Amino acid sequence: MIKLVVSSGNQHKIQEIKEILRELPIDIVSKNDVGFKDFEVVEDKSTLEGNAIKKAVELSKKVEGLVVADDTGLFVDALNGAPGVFSSRYAGENVTYEDNNKKLLKELENIPINKRSAKFKTIIAIAKNGEIIKTIEGECKGRIANTKSGSSGFGYDPLFIVDEYNKTFAELGDEIKNKISHRANALIKLKGELTVLLGENTNEDHCSK
Ligand code: IMP
């Protein structure tokens, strides 16, 4: 069975990936499961793509099988795409989600709700033996609320109003969020890519027999 190593130790992410890919004959493990718990790369690229590729390629030089890595950011139109690639450290290094949310509200203080459009974007990179195979993109469109609403989720969830539902991710809850989010959209596309890759591997096996 093909092994898929997720370049993350975040159990929540691993579970989400396992859930969406459950029908595929793939053994999904985290970097911790293959002895690379402390493996980290410096996320110093200027794009989500750059960071996702770096994370996937560097780990794939060390482990067998396919490696996937993701990077996510919130892009606010009125702020020329900020916080973008800096979403986790918008208010500075070692800050909390609350600090980042406060900074976002401050930056948008005088911007009316109809000009607060934004999107979450996730990039997933697939690599093998130190080479990038593919990058995949998932998006979710919405706008930034004037105040926080809802209690579920994490990060910018209490401020991000999803266009389709007119509610924040934090109000919608994980069950709906995990069906429509930027990450879910990227993972659904990943499932399609992996299905193709598995087919190619099976064909190669047949041809070599
Ligand atoms: P990461 O690439 O998944 O670590 O995400 C980078 C940052 O984007 C996180 O630290 C959060 O601030 C934010 N973020 C990522 N995904 C979400 C989400 O689904 N909801 C809210 N914020 C998110």
Task: Dump pLDDT digits (tens) for 146-160.
Answer: 999 999 999 999 999
- Testing ligand 1's pocket by substitution, the residue of 87, 140, 177 carrying the most ligand atoms inside 8 A of its CB is 87
Domains and CATH numbers, the chain: 2-208 (3.90.950.10)
Whether the pLDDT of residue 61 is over 80: the answer is yes
Of residues 209 and 36, which shows the higher confidence score? 36
Contact, 156 vs 202, CB < 8 A? no
Q: pLDDT at residue 169 above 50? A: yes
163-187 average pLDDT score: 95
Yes or no: say if 39 and 65 are a contact pair by the CB < 8 Å rule.
no
State residue 202's pLDDT score.
62
Q: How far is the CA of 203 from the centre of ligand 1 (A)?
A: 38
Instruction: DSSP letter for 151, please.
Output: S
Ligand 1, atom 7: closest residue by C-alpha: 88
- The pLDDT tens digits for 10-20 are 888 898 899 89
Q: Which residue ranges have their beta carbon within 6 Å of ligand 1?
A: 71-73, 87-88, 97, 100, 153-157, 169, 181
The C-alpha atoms of residue 153 and residue 174 are separated, in whole angstroms, by 7
Alpha helices in the chain (DSSP H): 11-20, 48-60, 97-107, 169-172, 174-180, 182-208
Name the pLDDT band for 207 (thresholds 50, 70, 90). Answer: very low
Under a CB-based contact definition with an 8 Å cutoff, are residues 156 and 100 in contact?
yes
Helices 11-20, 182-208: inter-axial angle, 10-degree rounding: 60
Is residue 208 pLDDT above 50, yes or no?
no
Do you find a cis peptide bond into 83, omega within 30 degrees of 0? yes
Whole-structure pTM value: 0.93
